[in-house]
Amino acid sequence: MSKFTIPQIVVYVCTGSKCGKRGGKDAYKMIRSYTKYSGQDIEVIETECTDRCKFAPVCSIQPANIWLKEYRERDVLKVLQQLTQPDEQGED
């Protein structure tokens, strides 16, 4: 029996009609590639529609409850890097 694991971060990328045409599909592929080679505990899930078509493309990063609208691929990578960097507060 395989082990059921819960990732530390989950990225939901809308690839529905409008999001897909406005970069959602390419972003999904790029984010999956990034997470595969980053070594971080991140899962990427392709969603068909978030019903926010006028803000396309849209993605959500959980559990931080971060929603990106009209984003570029580098915007998502920037947020993921910030979320996965060790907390440097309190260090001298």
Domain that holds residue 37: 9-82
- Within the chain, how many helices (H) and strands (E) appear? 3, 4
Going by C-alpha positions, the residue among 58, 42, 57 that lies closest to residue 6 is 42
Contact 31, 84 (CB under 8 A): no
Q: How many domains does the chain have?
A: 1
By the 10 Å C-beta count (0-12 exposed, 13-18 middle, 19+ buried), 14 is classed as buried
User: What is residue 86's predicted lDDT score, i.e. its pLDDT?
Assistant: 73
Q: Which pLDDT belongs to residue 92?
A: 46
Query: Quick check: is 46 in a domain?
Result: yes
Supply the pTM of this predicted model.
0.87
Task: Let me know if residue 2 belongs to a domain.
Answer: no
Residue-level pLDDT at 9: 96
Residue 87 in any domain: the answer is: no
Q: Is residue 62 part of a domain?
A: yes
One pLDDT digit (tens) per residue for the chain, 92 residues: 788 889 999 999 999 999 999 999 999 999 999 999 988 999 999 999 999 999 999 999 999 999 999 999 999 999 999 998 876 555 44
